[in-house]
Amino acid sequence: MKPAAKNFKGVYAFVATPTTDDGERIDEARLRQSIDFQISNGVDGITVFGSTGGIGSFSETERQMVIEIAAKQINGRVRFLPGTGAISTAEAIRLSKFAADHGADGVLVVPITYWRLTDNELYEHYEAIARSIAIPVGIYNNPGTTGVDIKPALVARIATIDNVGFIKESSGDMSRISAIRQLTDYKISVMNGNDACTPEAIAAGVDGWFAGSCNIMPKQCVELFRLGHEEKNIVAMRDYFQPMFPICDFMGLRGYIRVAHTACELLGRPVGPPRRPIRSLDAADRSYLRSLLVKARLIEERIAVGAA
């Protein structure tokens, strides 16, 4: 395994970006509280500005502010991997340099684009970012959100760049985990990014999990990964996941960001609404989510009724 890959294992919380109640300003106090909550529940790392963090909803200046606050709040207690993807290579480089200068352990780069990118354009994009910083760079493949699918052969090509050390694979195609591991000669860390497929991903050999569902149930995410990855108890992992699956599945159906913001409010840990035009769940979906939280014993039924 490449030196750039060795430290990227375990569960990384993809935290929602907290906002004030109108959704238009970042709430620094809530951000600090959210980070501390995740760390207290045993996560191995924190990522700001993943998809659940509304990466496309904030300006470059706002993203720098959040990266700086998060780095100071984490203060080396767990690893810090901010998302630094941007629609232009130049902006992604600026954000990646800023993250490196403020103590990030690596950066996670999702391709954000309007035009369909060619394989050469994607390779050159990652190459330019990786050359601009000394810390590890991660590939973030999320075709369902971005419309860009970085397939295993291209992942292997990008992985030849010295400090490209890991990938968050969110396609939901479990065969890609084995394909990426083999095509890269096991030199980069492969991280799951599709929460509903987590047991299958662990069984297929992922090194870690970037979990949007950590916003809702971080302790359970950490325990699930421990059962499957550390203890290699597939039966126990499968059984433990049963009450978690409907929540993870619903996140995929309605959008991780909408479900995360709504769930945090229902759980008594409000992080404000997503920034418009994205909204929290409507009344019907909110009620359904509440029922899932009750079934998973994340909130008590009497509290859920009172929060209707």
Tell me which residues are annotated as active site: 140, 168
**Cα dihedral angle (285, 289, 295, 301), rounded to 10 degrees?**
-90
In whole angstroms, give the CA distance from residue 153 to residue 119: 10
164-169 and 137-141 beta bridge pairing: parallel
Q: What is the DSSP letter of 52?
A: T
Helix axes of 60-74 and 28-40: crossing angle, nearest 10 degrees: 40
Residue 93 vs residues 84, 99, 146, 204, 308: alpha-carbon distances, Å: 8, 10, 19, 33, 45
In whole angstroms, give the CA distance from residue 49 to residue 138: 13
In whole angstroms, give the CA distance from residue 45 to residue 188: 17
The label of the residue with tokens 């998060």 reads 70
Report the DSSP beta bridge partners of residue 139.
109, 167
Structure token pair of residue 288: 């359904």
Question: Count of alpha carbons within 13 Å of 214, Cβ hemisphere only?
Answer: 34
- Residue among 169, 167, 108 at smallest CA distance from 133: 108
